[in-house]
Amino acid sequence: MQDLISEEALRRRIEEVADEINADFAGADLLNLVVVLRGGCFFGTDLAKRLTMPCRLDYIRVTSYSGDKSSGVVSLMSDIRTDIRNQPVLVVDDIIDTGFTMAWILRYLDLKSPASVHVASLLDKPARREFEVPIHYVGFIVPNVFVAGYGLDGLDDRMANIPRIVAVEPTNEEARIPPTRERLPSLH
Q: Which residues are catalytic?
A: 97
Distance CA 70, CA 83 (A): 28
Total residues in contact with ligand 5GP, by rule CB under 6 A? 18
Question: Phi-psi category of 99—alpha, beta or left, where left has phi over 0 and alpha has psi -120 to 50?
Answer: left
Q: Is 43 in the site for ligand 5GP (CB under 6 A)?
A: no
Residue 42: CB minimum distance to Mg ion, A: 11
Q: How far apart are CA 5 and CA 90, in angstroms?
A: 24
SS3 label, residue 145: coil
Binding residue (CB under 6 A) for ligand 5GP from 14, 35, 70, 84: 70
Write out the binding residues for ligand 5GP, residues 108-137 only, by CB under 6 A: none
Residues near Mg ion (CB under 5 A) are 36, 39, 93-94
Is 60 a residue that touches ligand 5GP (CB under 6 A)?
no
Sign of CA dihedral 74, 57, 10, 8: negative
Chain positions contacting ligand 5GP, by CB under 6 A: 39, 64, 70, 93-102, 146-148, 152-153
